[in-house]
């Protein structure tokens, strides 16, 4: 990037830098391992023999709770047969067709591989063991237009330990912020080829750096599972957040597109290359 700006510095009309794609993951660490899950079951007075019925009942409640805000808004809820379906494209298509510009857009559900808890009958000890294994469980994806963050999606694993993932784009956040200020701009797909006030735009672009992310993400987690406090009333838990993916992007605006055109290759150089690489 430094080399590029140095070469075209005289032609650059402005730059705009900041986070683009951001993916956060939330986990309930205390119950991510068998020892912690045993603690939860003890607090709820659930014996291992009742593990299956208990987690099935809680899982069903979490699924219904995750769909509630979308259903109450009268939006689309769709089950996908394959986890390989392009959920992002599907959600954006629904938003366009239904002309949704604010609030929930849709909820998509599908079965996906997951690492979670199950019961294992140990033949050697003749006892039930709580183990972790790979299997499938239902995931709920929420897509929506957040009043501050813009377009985003969030998903929750509807089986213990209820892991969460939130995905958003810094540019859509910036577009939302600009709606509240008197500043002209033009957005084309995922970039801004023109802004009236580059300094003000950069200050708004820096907002994610000062954001109180745990508080904001906790609020989004509540939308995914509004019955979290009810489930864990006897065994209080909170989500620990980590950054799974982060992308930093820089938009560079040049006065004329011709500035980026590559110079023609001299004929003598072209001839040399042909001699060095004869056709086979």
Segments of the chain with pLDDT less than 70: 1, 7-8, 173-194, 196, 255-280
Residue 243 to residue 264: CA distance in whole angstroms? 44
Q: Give a yes or no: residue 151 inside a domain.
A: yes
Q: Which is it for strands 103-122 and 127-146: parallel, antiparallel or unpaired? A: antiparallel
Instruction: State the pTM of this model.
Output: 0.80
Q: Is residue 162 part of a domain?
A: yes
DSSP 48: G
Count H helices, E strands: the chain? Answer: 10, 9
Please give the tally of structural domains in the chain: 1
Cβ neighbours around 11 below 10 Å, total = 14
Nearest to 149 by CA among 102, 94, 99: 102
Residue 15 lies in a domain: no
Residue 102, both tokens:
């604010």
Q: Quote the domain boundaries for residue 193.
A: 20-255
Is 12 inside any structural domain? no
For residue 173, the model assigns a pLDDT of: 67
3-state SS class at 4: helix
152 domain residue, yes or no: yes
Between vectors from CA 45 to CA 239 and to CA 126, what angle results, nearest 5°? 105
Q: Is the dihedral of CA 49, 46, 220, 115 positive or negative?
A: negative
**Does residue 204 contact residue 178 with C-beta atoms inside 8 Å?**
yes
* Chain centre to alpha carbon of residue 129: 34
Domain membership of residue 269 (yes or no) is no
């Amino acid at each position: 990037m430094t080399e590029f700006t140095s070469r075209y510095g005289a032609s650059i009309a402005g730059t705009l830098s900041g986070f683009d794609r951001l993916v956060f993951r939330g986990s309930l660490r205390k119950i991510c391992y068998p020892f912690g899950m045993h603690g939860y079951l003890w607090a709820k007075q659930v014996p291992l023999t009742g593990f299956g019925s208990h987690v099935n009942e809680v899982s069903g409640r979490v699924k219904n709770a995750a769909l509630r805000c979308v259903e109450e808004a009268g939006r689309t809820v769709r089950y996908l047969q394959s986890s390989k379906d392009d959920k992002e494209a599907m959600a954006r298509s629904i938003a366009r067709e239904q002309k949704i510009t604010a609030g929930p857009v849709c909820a998509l559900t599908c079965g996906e591989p997951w690492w979670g808890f199950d019961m294992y009958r140990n033949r050697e000890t003749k006892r039930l063991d709580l183990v972790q294994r790979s299997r499938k469980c239902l995931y709920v994806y929420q897509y929506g237009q957040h009043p501050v963050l813009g377009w985003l999606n969030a998903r929750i694993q509807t089986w213990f330990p209820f892991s969460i993932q939130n995905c958003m784009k810094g540019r859509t956040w910036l577009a939302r912020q600009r709606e509240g200020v008197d500043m002209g701009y033009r957005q084309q797909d995922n970039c801004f080829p023109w802004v009236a006030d580059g300094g003000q735009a950069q200050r708004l672009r820096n907002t994610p750096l000062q954001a109180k992310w745990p508080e904001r993400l906790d609020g989004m987690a509540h939308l995914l599972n509004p019955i979290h406090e009810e489930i864990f009333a006897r065994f209080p838990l909170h989500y620990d957040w980590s950054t799974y993916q982060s992308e930093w992007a820089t938009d560079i605006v040049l006065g004329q597109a011709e500035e980026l055109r590559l110079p023609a290759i001299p004929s003598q150089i072209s001839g040399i290359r042909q001699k060095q690489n004869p056709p086979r």
